[in-house]
Amino acid sequence: MINPSSPEPGNAGAPPAPLLVAVARGIALVVVVPLRLAWELVAVVGRWLHRWLLAPVGRFLDRWLLRPLGWLLRHLVWLPLVWLGRGLAWLLRTLVWVPLVWLGRGLAWLARTVVWLPLAWLAYHLIWLPVRWLARLLAPLGRLLVAGLAALGRWLAAVGRVLLHALAWAWWAAGRLLWWCYALTLRPFVLGAGWLWRHAVRPVGRAVAAAWRATVSPAARWVRRAVLDPVRQATREVLTALGLRG
């Protein structure tokens, strides 16, 4: 409800507002008063409807519709379903679960008595005892075989070490022998050939090349310029004059 005695928003005892503030408050008051009036009318109508229409209708429906309907649903649907479920559970337990349990126990006893115990007895007497006896009988032979294999392995390892040592020594000896053969036979020849190349063949080659460049090359150039080029040019002109050259 509208409370006419409510204090004005703002600071109490404030000095008079300026003109702009007064105009803004007037415009806001013109806009807000209809909205506040509509809100108050809606609130009053809502309280009246709740008090004189909705609440009585709700109490009437709760008392004369929902409660009887709930009672009917509980006594005509829920309780029969509960009793039916309990009866079905008792039937399932009595007619299905208990017989299945007894059947499972009987099958387990039958499997243990008829299948497992005979199989275990046969496996123990026909497999385990003969295997254990055979293992005891063959244990000395097995130990002897293991000892023999160990001795053979040690002998092979020793022979392998000897062979590896011999191969390593032979490899080293072959290298030294080849080096001495090279040093006593090929090395002097290689050193002599290198000395002959550096001190005889290379100087002679250089001298021949220099003499060739000094004599043969200028003569060849002179013969080409003085003889061959004029003869070639004259031959070309003669052939051209005779019409034998296009």
Q: How far, in Å, CA of 24 to CA of 47, rounded?
A: 34
Q: How far, in Å, CA of 15 to CA of 60, rounded?
A: 59
Is the sign of the CA dihedral 121, 123, 127, 132 positive or negative?
Answer: negative
Question: What is the predicted pLDDT for the residue at 245?
Answer: 63
Q: What is the pLDDT of residues 167-198, one digit of tens each?
A: 788 788 777 877 787 777 777 777 777 788 88
Q: What is the pLDDT of residues 70-115, one digit of tens each?
A: 888 888 888 888 888 888 888 888 888 888 888 888 888 888 887 7
Q: What is the pLDDT of residues 147-167, one digit of tens each?
A: 888 888 888 888 888 878 877
Joined together, the tokens standing for residue 226 give: 């003085």
Q: How many CB atoms lie within 10 A of CB 1?
A: 7
Q: How many CB atoms lie within 10 A of CB 84?
A: 10
* Chain centroid to CA 98: 53
Q: How far, in Å, CA of 97 to CA of 108, rounded?
A: 16
Q: What is the pLDDT of residues 17-67, one digit of tens each?
A: 577 777 777 777 777 777 888 888 888 888 898 888 888 888 888 888 888
pTM attached to this predicted model: 0.29
